[in-house]
Amino acid sequence: MKEIKNICCIGAGYVGGPTMAVIALKNPQIKVNIVDINADRIAAWNGDDLDKLPIYEPGLKEIVAETRNKNLFFSTDISKGIDDADMIFISVNTPTKTYGKGKGQAADLKYIELCARQIAEVAKDDKIVVEKSTLPVRTAEALKSILENTGNGVKFEILSNPEFLAEGTAVEDLLAPDRVLIGGDNTVTGQEAKDALTSVYGSWVPKDRILQTNVWSSELSKLTANAFLAQRISSINAMSALCEETEADVDEVAKAIGMDTRIGAKFLKSSVGFGGSCFQKDILNLVYIAKSYGLQEVADYWEQVIILNDYQKRRFADKIIRESYNTVNGKRIAFFGWAFKKDTNDTRESAAIYVADYLLDEQADIVVYDPKVSTEQIYADLEYLNTHSAEEIRSRVKVVSSPYEAVEKAHAVAVLTEWDEFVTYDWEKIYDEMLKPANVFDGRNILKKDQLEGLGFKVFNIGK
């Protein structure tokens, strides 16, 4: 079996950074180079202040402190990284296409293709190329075709090794994964490549949790896993709307069904809607793939998960408007949280962005407090939608660095992210600062409703 001594990872993002840091930590004999075209990102990974790494993940800075410049390196020299490596992970972004065929649904594979072309151009000896990015089923075929048509005699084995970590728990997920999935060809050299990658993970992951499959099953399993996870959230969110009409309590319903071991308790937390860079993108991609094979019913089935999620975000904004005497014009709404979930600074596809956008349509004034998200990120998220001008956004949306500042003279507080600290605030002080009636819209069902009502708040939940 080929022993891996040098790994290169192209893409120093939310997946490449933490995954390679853990691989380096658990394999001190392997040199791991993470390379990226984004020089600012690489500089931040190399910066002295570990509190300013480009990605916030609990436990990550400690691992970076232990491995950086020992066997973990960050660089913009992509060609050198490729040249030195026996194994190359491709961990670049695969966003939804915003142009041309498949616009709004298909995955944009231009970054993947650029990586493949650069690998093909630079490689002088045989390499194992690992798809770490989430990719449409059969992408390995295209990669193979690009890599094998260079005419320089270099042999490539292509593996699919999708990542299942969730943001906010990336380090814990990487240290103790439910499973590691490795797909590859069932040829002799394909098996050798699968075994080589298995041994990298084998340094810390028990053997029975490392699953080898064919490459297509591996690619499709990643899209399927995300579709199933998101589908659970849309399913419980659909029930939340029914709960609100019938005096059933969605948290009680979730508990009751989750105790059935066939259903399971996880991923049944009703919310303002799921966000994050992947669920929507991957389901849209699945829908596109199903359509491209003529499987319209399959496509329609999964598309409904997205339609329901959009409905949930809209429903939450509509409730804020309805309960504010049908107008939020000029009213101050304090947003607690902007990140798409707690314990991350990532805001991609966060429900907060869309709820804010709907409220801006109604000319609300929004004051945002999030413990980890920067002011410029919040403006950039809203400007990206292109529905309101930059001037309007900057005049109507204020970002503050304290929750108590956010609620001064506010008509309502809306909880958009489930940060733990929101629960422990001095809610009496918040009540005093707000205009009355003081409304709280708990989009995550995390606050203590009885206690808040005792203080005088009117509390609105999801699914209650």
Binding positions for ligand UGA, rule: CB under 6 A: 134, 163-167, 226, 229, 233, 267-269, 271, 274-276, 278-279, 340-341
13 is in an annotated binding site: yes
Q: Report whether 347 contacts 338 (CB < 8 A).
A: yes
Q: How far is the CB of 394 from ligand NAD (least distance, A)?
A: 25
Give the length of the chain.
464
Q: Distance between CA atoms of 358 and 272, rounded to whole angstroms?
A: 13
152 is in an annotated binding site: no
Nearer to ligand NAD, 78 or 412 (CB): 78
Q: Distance between CA atoms of 337 and 339, rounded to whole angstroms?
A: 6
Cα–Cα distances in Å, from 17 out to 63, 116, 174, 285, 339? 11, 20, 12, 24, 19
Q: What is the DSSP string of 150-211?
A: S-S---EEEEE------TTSHHHHHHS-S-EEEE--SSHHHHHHHHHHHHHHTTTS-GGGEE
Q: Torsion angle of alpha carbons 115, 37, 51, 162, nearest 10°?
A: -10
Q: How far is the CB of 254 from ligand UGA (least distance, A)?
A: 8
Residue 92 contacts which entry, ligand UGA, ligand NAD, none (Cβ below 5-8 A, type-dependent): ligand NAD
Residue 414 contacts which entry, ligand NAD, ligand UGA, none (Cβ below 5-8 A, type-dependent): none
Q: How far is the CB of 206 from ligand NAD (least distance, A)?
A: 21
278 catalytic? Reply is: yes
Per-residue contact string for residues 240-279; x = within reach of ligand NAD by CB under 6 A? -------------------------------------xx-
Place of tokens 């293709």: 113
Residue nearest to ligand NAD (CB): 13
184 touches ligand NAD (CB under 6 A): no
Structural tokens at position 345? 């600074």
165 touches ligand NAD (CB under 6 A): yes
Residue 78 contacts which entry, ligand NAD, ligand UGA, none (Cβ below 5-8 A, type-dependent): ligand NAD
Nearer to ligand UGA, 133 or 324 (CB): 133
Nearer to ligand NAD, 34 or 397 (CB): 34
133 touches ligand NAD (CB under 6 A): yes
Which one of 35-43, 144-152, 286-294, 357-365 is the stretch in contact with ligand NAD (CB under 6 A)? 35-43
Residue 71 contacts which entry, ligand NAD, ligand UGA, none (Cβ below 5-8 A, type-dependent): none
312 touches ligand NAD (CB under 6 A): no
Place of tokens 């004034």: 365
Among 10, 119, 182, 205, which residue interacts with ligand NAD (rule: CB under 6 A)? 10
Q: Distance between CA atoms of 51 and 33, rounded to whole angstroms?
A: 21
273 is in an annotated binding site: yes
Q: How far is the CB of 145 from ligand NAD (least distance, A)?
A: 18
Question: Is the C-alpha dihedral spanning 46, 47, 48, 54 positive or negative?
Answer: negative
Question: Is the C-alpha dihedral spanning 14, 16, 19, 22 positive or negative?
Answer: negative
Structural tokens at position 419? 């940060």
Question: Sheet containing 365-369: which strands, arranged edge to edge?
Answer: 397-399, 365-369, 332-336, 412-415, 439-442, 458-461
134 touches ligand NAD (CB under 6 A): yes
According to DSSP H, which parts of 89-156 are helical?
Answer: 110-122, 139-148
Cα–Cα distances in Å, from 44 out to 39, 53, 151, 195, 330? 9, 5, 38, 34, 39
Q: Could you give the 3-state DSSP secondary structure of residue 367?
A: strand
Residue type, 107: A
Q: How far is the CB of 162 from ligand UGA (least distance, A)?
A: 8
337 touches ligand NAD (CB under 6 A): no
Annotated catalytic sites, by residue? 278
Residue ranges at the known binding site: 11-16, 36, 41, 92-96, 133-134, 163-167, 222-226, 262, 269-275, 278-281, 340-341, 348, 444
Residue ranges at the known binding site for substrate: 163-167, 222-226, 262, 269-275, 340-341, 444
In the complex, which residues of this chain contact ligand NAD (CB under 6 A)?
10-16, 36-38, 41, 78, 91-94, 111, 114-115, 133-134, 163, 165, 167, 277-278
